[in-house]
Amino acid sequence: MPKGLANPRGRGPYSTQACSICRSKKKKCDGVKPVCGSCSASGRSDECSWGRETVPKLPKKAHFEALQKRVESLQVYVELLEARLAKCICQDVSSHLQFRPHSPEEPSTEEDLDSDDEIIGELTVPTQRLQLNDSSNGPLLHGAFFRVENSFQPQLPTQRIPEVTDNAATYVLQVEGVDISQSHPDIEWSRHLPPEVPITRREHDRILELSFKFQTMFPIVPSLFLRDMYRALSVPRSEEPPTTLHYSSMLHNAILSVCAVYSDNEYLRDPKTRLYFLQAAHSCFDSRKPDSSMVHALSLIAAFYTDRGDRIPAELYFGMSTRICTTLGLGDDAKQWVKDGVLTHDEMTGRNWTYWAVFNRDVTWALYWGVGGPPRRNTPLPYVDSDMDRILWDYAPTKIPPQMNLLTLIFHETSTLSMIACQIADVVNNLRLSSRPHVVQVAEHVTKIDLELNNWKSRLLPQLDITLMNRASSSPQRLMLHLAYWFCFITLHRPFFNRRTQSIQTSDPEVDHVKLCTRAAENVMELLDTWSSLYTMRLASLKMSGVIFSAGTVFFLRALQATGSSRVAHGVLNTMLAQVETCIKYLHEMGRTWASAKRTGDMLQAMLNDRLKPTIMRRLARRSYQSHAVAEMQDASGAVASPAANSLSTGPTASHAHEWESQDFQLDPATAWSELLLDLNFFAQLQHTSDVGFSGATASSESDTNTVFLPILDSFHAPENVLAGSQKNPFT
């Protein structure tokens, strides 16, 4: 080839970047921008781009055709549904959707009357009726077991009752200091009471007054109950009384069946007499009209059986109360119903109050039995009504000046505490069910709950706190609030009583469960002493027996701990034994009112006499035996006793020896080791029981390790059935 001529096979122009189309097709691109020569020649000028993104593969023609067919089929289906919907009346007629009459120009087809449409209508109407903006019918029960037309529906009041403004709008109790002429003496107050029980109005009103002050202070709002009671009883017998939220004949009799124990009349306190009120409450039970008052009534009926010692009926009625509360949706947010006029604001707050009353009761029940707490919902805490809290509370025998009752504020704080207590119940239940709980996780959880309890206490308003300055003027409501707080502390920390103090993290302080339990039990005793001096244990609440028993078990363990080491702590031992005796005394004083408290006191007394004292006796005897053995060894060897030996041989002090002088402290050397094993076995059983919490029914044998620390569980022993043969099942 002549020099200077171009090489026909030489490389053409080089492009530093290809367009996205050429790059995807792996074709040569001349790099001309904005449209390269290849795209321009192939008619893709609009698609030519110079970004670095990868061009997705274009769908195939068959895919486009399939999508088009799908769109067309869906359009046909939409037109069919719109045509059917245009012929429907959107309301409930005989529990299924009905079709409009056809116009002459609109021919009828068999498809419109297809049976499938009727089935679909019946299944969709209940869901439609559940809409909150449906103000025509209000909230209805809904579920697989109830049809919409079922008569089992919550009954809402047909009219509102005026607020309490003066004595003319409320039932006035004929108690000391009240003018009889101002208490509507002609009202038929005993209309719904059993005729078999002769009772005067003063006796009746006295029972109601004491029940509102000491027993039913939270589930039932006294002013609202008396307001609705007057409204219901002031209507002549020939007329149907209005439906009220806070009073019913069932609730009226249920209160008397439980709280007649506060009467000074021995006849009214008798269980046989109170059974008439219970049967009257049963006869008023109407399952077709469930409401808040029925929830409270069933709870009180359960309390009657609890005190009597019948666990199964008590559980059944508590369960019915809880279930009706759930079925009525009392924990649901009803703000939309109020907005649409279905409920009034007072009715919404009343539903909320009832829900929290049931929740608080269930949490207390769970703590007593060592089971998991009830499920928690995002229900707003109960309201605080400053006007209602300013109503004065007083109890003349105490000579304490009248004070604000703070009812709604205390109930609000009680509900807040119950949410923390629910976590405690879950912890105790998990320890009982889990054979190998994760130690670190459990400890961290306990520490977290402990912090929540302390924060709750620190946030209490001054008027709710109990100090040295205001202790002597504490109302029963405030005392019960603080007793519940310290009871939560005992329940939380007692399962770890026998465990060494330990820190969760290296920087955390050590958690001394023994110290925390002891402090809580001592605070319980101070509060009980205040209650006893102001109101006497004769007027104690039924729930208090569980708190007293719980404190007694802590003193029980501390007494064992005082004799568990080589040196007996005689001062601590004597103090703890005295505290156990005080708990028993309080329970027996309560036993004048509540039979279950007497049985609980008897159980604690049996534990003290049959279990604790013999164990301490064996330990003190063993210390004496060891002391004599060391002395004989020293005499034989001629050695002088060392300080450690002297401390080991310390026997019972003179002040403590007389307490056991009637016991035989001499142990045969051949049986010393077997006695030691028995002692250690008993102590291990007690500690194991404190680990698992509450479970079981009685502490009758040493081999029963799940029955030692039960608050009111022995109250469910079968007592002497004074009511045998007189009880009837109201639901048969």
675 CB contacts (<8 Å, ≥6 apart)? 618, 621, 622, 667
Q: Is residue 91 situated within a structural domain?
A: yes
* Mean pLDDT value across residues 281-285: 93
Q: How confident is the model at residue 12 (pLDDT cuts 50, 70, 90)?
A: low
Taking phi first (over 0 means left), then psi (-120 to 50 degrees means alpha), and beta for anything else, what does residue 380 get?
beta
pLDDT for 11 equals 56
CA-based torsion, 706, 707, 710, 714: positive or negative: positive
- Helices of type H across 459-512: 476-493
pLDDT for 39 equals 87
pLDDT of residue 549 exceeding 70, the answer is yes
Packing angle between helix 439-458 and helix 407-433, nearest 10 degrees?
170
pLDDT for 684 equals 42
pLDDT of residue 266 exceeding 60, the answer is yes
Residue 248 is encoded by which pair of tokens? 């019913």
Q: How confident is the model at residue 183 (pLDDT cuts 50, 70, 90)?
A: confident
pLDDT of residue 230 exceeding 70, the answer is yes
CA-based torsion, 647, 651, 652, 655: positive or negative: negative
HSE, side-chain direction, 13 A CA sphere, residue 633: 11
* Mean pLDDT value across residues 356-378: 87
pLDDT for 433 equals 66
Closest CA to 518 of 471, 549, 486, 547: 486
Better pLDDT: 595 or 672: 595
* Mean pLDDT value across residues 594-607: 93
Q: Which helix (H) or strand (E) holds 403?
A: strand 403-404
pLDDT of residue 127 exceeding 60, the answer is no
* Mean pLDDT value across residues 575-594: 95
d(CA 34, CA 39): 10
pLDDT of residue 600 exceeding 90, the answer is yes
3-state secondary structure of 143: strand
pLDDT for 140 equals 40
pLDDT of residue 131 exceeding 60, the answer is no
Closest CA to 169 of 222, 229, 209: 229
d(CA 320, CA 514): 39
pLDDT for 510 equals 65
CA-based torsion, 549, 550, 553, 558: positive or negative: negative
Which letter, b or e, does each residue of 682-717 get, where b requires 16 or more Cβ atoms within 10 Å of its Cβ?
A: bbebbbebbbbbbbbebbeeeeebbbbbbbbbbbbe
3-state secondary structure of 38: helix
* Mean pLDDT value across residues 295-324: 93
What predicted TM-score, i.e. pTM, was given to this entire model?
0.69
Task: Note whether 289 and 177 are same-domain residues.
Answer: yes
* Mean pLDDT value across residues 264-290: 93
d(CA 216, CA 485): 19
Question: How many residues does the structure list for the chain?
Answer: 732
By 3-state DSSP, what share of the chain in percent is helix, strand and coil, each rounded to 5? 55, 0, 40
How remote is the C-alpha of 419 from its chain's centroid?
7
Phi, psi of 275 (to 5 degrees): -65, -30
pLDDT of residue 307 exceeding 70, the answer is yes
d(CA 143, CA 10): 85
Task: Note whether 288 and 356 are same-domain residues.
Answer: yes
d(CA 307, CA 590): 12
Q: Cβ(659)–Cβ(612) under 8 Å?
A: no
Last residue of a domain, one of 100, 129, 158: 129
β-bridge mates for residue 96, sequence order = 93
Q: How confident is the model at residue 380 (pLDDT cuts 50, 70, 90)?
A: confident
* Mean pLDDT value across residues 451-467: 93
Task: Note whether 610 and 589 are same-domain residues.
Answer: yes
**In percent, how much of the chain has pLDDT > 70?**
68
Closest CA to 535 of 476, 466, 586, 463: 476
pLDDT for 496 equals 84
d(CA 46, CA 50): 12
Q: How confident is the model at residue 544 (pLDDT cuts 50, 70, 90)?
A: very high
pLDDT of residue 189 exceeding 60, the answer is yes
Task: Note whether 249 and 192 are same-domain residues.
Answer: yes
Q: Which of 214-228, 555-569, 621-635, 637-651 has the lowest mean pLDDT?
A: 637-651
Residue 324 is encoded by which pair of tokens? 């009706």
Task: Note whether 334 and 241 are same-domain residues.
Answer: yes
Task: Note whether 192 and 105 are same-domain residues.
Answer: no
* Mean pLDDT value across residues 43-69: 68
Q: Give residue-wise pLDDT tens across range 381-438.
A: 988 988 889 999 999 899 899 999 999 999 999 999 999 999 999 888 887 666 666 6
Which letter, b or e, does each residue of 431-469 get, where b requires 16 or more Cβ atoms within 10 Å of its Cβ?
A: bbeeeebeeeebbebbbebbebbeebeeebeeebebeee
d(CA 95, CA 90): 12
Distances, alpha carbon 377 to alpha carbons 278, 331, 356, 626, in Å = 32, 7, 11, 60
pLDDT of residue 136 exceeding 70, the answer is no
pLDDT of residue 357 exceeding 50, the answer is yes
* Highest mean pLDDT of the ranges 99-103, 271-275, 662-666: 271-275
Closest CA to 714 of 618, 591, 614: 591
Q: Cβ(314)–Cβ(327) under 8 Å?
A: no
DSSP 396: G
pLDDT for 27 equals 83
Task: Note whether 600 and 706 are same-domain residues.
Answer: yes
* Mean pLDDT value across residues 640-665: 38
The structure tokens 């205390």 sit at 410
288 CB contacts (<8 Å, ≥6 apart)? 151, 152
Q: Which of 32-41, 481-490, 713-722 has the lowest mean pLDDT?
A: 713-722
Distances, alpha carbon 656 to alpha carbons 424, 568, 652, 660, in Å = 39, 11, 6, 7
Last residue of a domain, one of 365, 383, 401: 383
pLDDT of residue 293 exceeding 60, the answer is yes
Task: Note whether 25 and 93 are same-domain residues.
Answer: no
3-state secondary structure of 437: coil
Closest CA to 475 of 204, 218, 166: 218
pLDDT of residue 262 exceeding 90, the answer is yes
HSE, side-chain direction, 13 A CA sphere, residue 135: 11
* Mean pLDDT value across residues 543-566: 89
Q: Is residue 463 situated within a structural domain?
A: no
* Highest mean pLDDT of the ranges 75-79, 206-210, 499-503, 690-694: 206-210
Task: Note whether 261 and 117 are same-domain residues.
Answer: no
Please count the structural domains in the chain.
4
46: domain CATH number?
4.10.240.10
Q: Give residue-wise pLDDT tens across range 481-495.
A: 999 999 999 999 898
pLDDT for 687 equals 39
pLDDT of residue 568 exceeding 90, the answer is no
Task: Note whether 44 and 102 are same-domain residues.
Answer: no
Task: Note whether 719 and 629 are same-domain residues.
Answer: yes
pLDDT for 626 equals 65
59: preceding bond cis by omega (within 30 degrees): no
Better pLDDT: 566 or 282: 282
Q: Is residue 37 situated within a structural domain?
A: yes
d(CA 446, CA 458): 18
Q: Give residue-wise pLDDT tens across range 313-344.
A: 999 999 999 999 988 888 888 888 888 888 88
Q: Which of 61-75, 245-259, 378-392, 585-599 has the lowest mean pLDDT?
A: 61-75
pLDDT of residue 676 exceeding 80, the answer is no
pLDDT for 10 equals 55
* Mean pLDDT value across residues 231-241: 89
Better pLDDT: 27 or 69: 27
* Mean pLDDT value across residues 291-304: 94
Task: Note whether 38 and 85 are same-domain residues.
Answer: no
pLDDT for 554 equals 93
d(CA 679, CA 207): 49
Phi, psi of 403 (to 5 degrees): -140, 160
pLDDT of residue 731 exceeding 90, the answer is no
Domain membership of residue 326 as a residue range:
167-383
33 CB contacts (<8 Å, ≥6 apart)? 50
pLDDT for 89 equals 55
Average pLDDT, the chain: 75
Last residue of a domain, one of 364, 383, 402: 383
β-bridge mates for residue 502, sequence order = 511
Residue 455 is encoded by which pair of tokens? 């924060």
Torsion, Cα 11 14 18 22, to 10 degrees, reads -20
d(CA 700, CA 222): 42
pLDDT for 303 equals 94
